[in-house]
Structure 1
């Protein structure tokens, strides 16, 4: 039996966080941030679990007329921060133009000089999706409840909130397209139109139909294996002392508002307090719903 076959998943938040220190290397992460973009390069900038994979599929579909010839979406739209640590050359030619990358770095941090599609999501729904993504891979299923995960891991990172405040000063930049997950869900065809125009892809009726159909949740669920994090799992599990089995599936149900029933009331209140105390003073909006309306046009 190999060492990796002996590994078990964490059952405490402390053990999970300790092992996740080995998720990436400082050198590898910095290599991504040091990348020098071409003006046409497209960066998909999102907090975790806020429509990243969805937007990768839209962008890649637009530039290839719907090619599904990839084992994993990250192979063709690389995660720029993790590329070095997973053996992907971010300077290598991509399968189509424009070149595209994903990142969870904020607009303050990303390499400057390209084009940026920023996708935000209601913070409570983002928390719920983050929890389900981690469960069964980064920690043993059923061992850490969502309240503990929220208080000890998700909330201290402030990822969604950092992305919101970082975007704010760039929101009217011609090289930035700010979107909300909920608006994408409400009108996917219009989202495809906006993205195509932004990244410079001529959109005919046939291409629009292909991309709308192939970025629908049912299509992506039917091709779920192509949207799983195989590369991360294979290249970084041993460093984190995690078993290589389990799933890192990035296509769940794509629902809006699921957190109303699944996130504890005290956690929802804490998220609201963060908005009130940290977001409103910086951007002048009283809620995520106000932000969504602001970015709808």
Structure 2
């Protein structure tokens, strides 16, 4: 058998081969997740604010002790069950602070019931551009797969995820449930103080002005970009380098210096997303596009929600 490593993929099919190669080998340290009362899931769809909310959650729960930036990877301290086997990670390892927190891209129906759930919703076209920017040049050889060819990967929604529309419908249906904090990503960024207060209330964390100031500072784009090595899926990078030969120094940071704009989408991709929205979301929600749906979700937080 050849010992040559697979390297970055050049096709959509090659992406599957990369992930298959990464999953090879023994996993002596892996222990699966076991639900505990009070667990909190940060379960936005892929490229919809998951990392921001992981950081907000972790700094909130450690804020009384001055916060915590000693981690090497945000998904080590707010773990991701759907990558735990790949990483040989113990999901039951003790966490810094309470409540316990976990990352996910799943819809409600595939998460343990009776927990707490945090979701930020984002325009599907923006998620497409952001997802493409994230994968292009990391798992995929830069430029080898066009945006038009990228649709199957976008529809997958990341490890353990589901398609965008299944996810949105699931959490839209739970937007008024007391165990679920459902916000739009854009609102959470623009109204961060209100988002911090809402998250603290959901997690039953005593929020002082000092903790709020700390969390505000440590969730700015500037602060997170300055510490972007903590938000770049470093654990996954190391596995991909070891198993697949993809350099761990690849730019896998989830914190970009500027946001992703839907304007970058080819018309054919934008039209396909619009058609899926009209087929799957309009009949259920009554909203013809994300702007309309976001206005309803945002309005639930009162006049301070912009």
User: Is the shorter-chain TM-score for this pair beyond 0.5, marking a shared fold?
Assistant: yes
How far does residue 291 in structure 1 lie from its aligned partner after superposition? 1.8
Task: Report if aligned partners of 2:72, 2:230 keep a CA contact under 8 Å in 1.
Answer: yes
Task: Report if aligned partners of 1:9, 1:243 keep a CA contact under 8 Å in 2.
Answer: no
How far does residue 50 in structure 1 lie from its aligned partner after superposition? 0.9
In 2, Cα distance between equivalents of 1:192 and 1:168: 20
Task: Report if aligned partners of 1:42, 1:199 keep a CA contact under 8 Å in 2.
Answer: yes
How far does residue 242 in structure 1 lie from its aligned partner after superposition? 3.8
The equivalent of 1:96 in structure 2 is: 97
In 2, Cα distance between equivalents of 1:111 and 1:167: 14
In 2, Cα distance between equivalents of 1:48 and 1:82: 14
Of 184, 188, 191, which residue of structure 1 is paired with 2:192? 188
Task: Report if aligned partners of 1:51, 1:181 keep a CA contact under 8 Å in 2.
Answer: yes
The equivalent of 1:59 in structure 2 is: 57
RMSD: 2.4
Higher mean C-alpha deviation, range 193-202 or range 51-60? 193-202
3-state SS, counterpart of residue 177 of structure 1: strand
The equivalent of 1:18 in structure 2 is: 17
Matched, 1:128 2:126: no
3-state SS, counterpart of residue 187 of structure 2: helix
Deviations 1:187-219 (A, max 9, x none): 111111111111111111111111011000000
In 2, Cα distance between equivalents of 1:11 and 1:173: 43
Matched, 1:9 2:18: no
In 2, Cα distance between equivalents of 1:139 and 1:274: 26
1:91–1:295 Cα change, 3 Å: same
How many residue pairs match? The answer is 288
The equivalent of 1:153 in structure 2 is: 153
3-state SS, counterpart of residue 42 of structure 2: strand
Of 262, 277, 280, which residue of structure 2 is paired with 1:278? 280
In 2, Cα distance between equivalents of 1:23 and 1:8: 11
1:74–1:140 Cα change, 3 Å: same
1:291–1:23 Cα change, 3 Å: farther
Deviations 1:77-133 (A, max 9, x none): 101222233132222221111110001121111122210001211000000010011
Unaligned runs of 5+ in 1: none
In 1, Cα distance between equivalents of 2:98 and 2:56: 14
How far does residue 13 in structure 1 lie from its aligned partner after superposition? 2.2
Higher mean C-alpha deviation, range 139-148 or range 233-242? 233-242
The equivalent of 2:138 in structure 1 is: 137
3-state SS, counterpart of residue 146 of structure 1: coil
Task: Report if aligned partners of 2:175, 2:181 keep a CA contact under 8 Å in 1.
Answer: yes
How far does residue 243 in structure 1 lie from its aligned partner after superposition? 4.5
Greater relative CO, 1 or 2 (CA 8 Å, sep 6+): 1
3-state SS, counterpart of residue 82 of structure 1: helix
In 2, Cα distance between equivalents of 1:111 and 1:24: 25
1:61–1:156 Cα change, 3 Å: closer
1:78–1:171 Cα change, 3 Å: same
The equivalent of 2:208 in structure 1 is: 204
1:55–1:273 Cα change, 3 Å: same
Of 241, 259, 262, which residue of structure 1 is paired with 2:262? 259
The equivalent of 1:295 in structure 2 is: 297
TM-score, normalising length from structure 2? 0.86
In 2, Cα distance between equivalents of 1:108 and 1:122: 22
